[in-house]
A and B are shown apart, each in its own frame.
Chain A
């Protein structure tokens, strides 16, 4: 039973951590080396793609903007640049065309004078599913060693904790003020019925006893 409990706990924890790791924004310091448009036919990976530009209609395939970049350590990373619109995740991104233009303005192929940018993104790069992180904003930074404090994520988790504590307090209050008194009153009623039944039963037994010739108690 202990193994079952821990397995379930681990599965839930992994799912939660993955969910937040995928959905919350992260910052990468990179050098943009190019941008492009590719037509994508969504298959079994369609879950990991966002929505068509706000106001345009959805088909089985569409052109998606991509931003190709290189990290300071020389490894490459490819971002997609898609609107999330009014859907999930709630980034309300409507400006993927503008973001593409900004990225094109920041393209830096001259390795001697690199332009470093911080790309805020969510999502994962995974070669097995052909999925890409979705770039949200691009801002120029001083250099590859800039320290970026994830204020949004800090505030988000504080806020989430407040909400969870609040919900727990609400439930505790409801239990204390509504459920427990109701259960008590049900318990009292059962006790009363029980006592009355005991009285009847005792009298019935006594009456039966009169037939057996036992003396009445």
Chain B
């Protein structure tokens, strides 16, 4: 049991690191897209405000929620492996 908890702990730590890295990356690409969109169209409105509004929409959007898959996919993979290799 201790070995299982150790695996869970290290797995959780690893997935948390990945979650933060992917979050930072995703936010950065989103901001870059917004900047390029404004620079190409020179609008609408003020550049800073346009980017701020776009980032606020991103924080509520689906793409940010999909980053939780970083936790879901490895957990499901481990559960599937345990089932398929031992009980299937």
Chain A residues in the interface with B (C-beta under 8 A): 51, 54-55, 85-87, 90-95, 98, 136-137, 169-170, 173-174, 177
Instruction: Tell whether A92 pairs with B78 under 8 Å between CB atoms, given A86-B4, A86-B7, A87-B3.
Output: yes
Q: Which 9 A-B pairs have the closest CB atoms?
A: A86-B3, A86-B7, A95-B86, A170-B25, A92-B82, A86-B4, A92-B81, A94-B86, A177-B28
Assuming the contacts A170-B21, A173-B25, A177-B32, asked whether A92 and B3 have C-beta atoms less than 8 A apart, the reply is: no
Verify B82–A173 contact, CB threshold 8 A. Answer: no
Residues from chain A with Cβ under 8 Å of B81 in the complex: 90-92
Q: Does B85 contact A (CB under 8 A)?
A: yes
26 A-B pairs within 8 Å (CB atoms) are namely A51-B3, A55-B1, A86-B6, A86-B7, A90-B81, A91-B81, A91-B85, A92-B78, A92-B81, A92-B82, A92-B85, A92-B86, A93-B85, A94-B86, A95-B85, A98-B86, A136-B85, A169-B25, A170-B22, A170-B25, A173-B25, A173-B28, A173-B29, A174-B24, A177-B31, A177-B32
Q: Which residues in window 13-31 of B have CB below 8 A to A?
A: 21-22, 24-25, 28-29, 31
What is the size, in residues, of chain B's interface with A at 8 Å between Cβ atoms?
19
| Residues of chain B at the chain A interface (Cβ within 8 Å) | 1, 3-4, 6-7, 21-22, 24-25, 28-29, 31-32, 78, 81-82, 85-87
A137 & B3 in contact (Cβ 8 Å cutoff): no
A87 to chain B: closest CB distance in Å? 6
How far, in angstroms, from A86 to B6 measured CA to CA in the complex?
9
Known A-B contacts: A87-B3, A95-B85, A173-B29. Give 15 more (CB < 8 A): A51-B3, A86-B4, A87-B7, A91-B81, A91-B85, A92-B82, A93-B85, A93-B86, A94-B82, A94-B86, A98-B86, A136-B85, A137-B85, A170-B25, A173-B28
| Docked CA distance A91–B32 (Å) | 41
What does DSSP make chain B's interface, helix, strand, loop or mixed? Answer: helix
Q: Across the interface, which residues of A come within 8 angstroms of B25, CB to CB?
A: 169-170, 173-174
Most chain B CB within 10 A, of A51, A85, A86, A173, is at A86
Smallest CB gap from B86: residue in A: A95
Q: Which residue of A lies closest to B83 (CB)?
A: A92
Are B78 and A174 in touch, CB under 8 angstroms? no
A174–B26 alpha-carbon span in the complex (Å): 11
Interface centre among B7, B21, B22, B86 (most CB of A within 10 A): B86
- For residue B2, which residue of chain A has the nearest CB? A86
- Say how far A95's CB is from chain B's closest CB, in angstroms: 4
Q: How far does the Cβ of B63 sit from chain A's closest Cβ, in whole Å?
A: 15
- Give the distance in Å from the alpha carbon of A90 to the alpha carbon of B3 in the complex: 12
Q: In the complex the two chains form, what is the Cα distance from A171 to B32 in whole Å? A: 15
Chain A residues with CB under 8 Å of B4's CB are: 86
Question: Which residue of chain B is the closest to A94 with respect to CB atoms?
Answer: B86
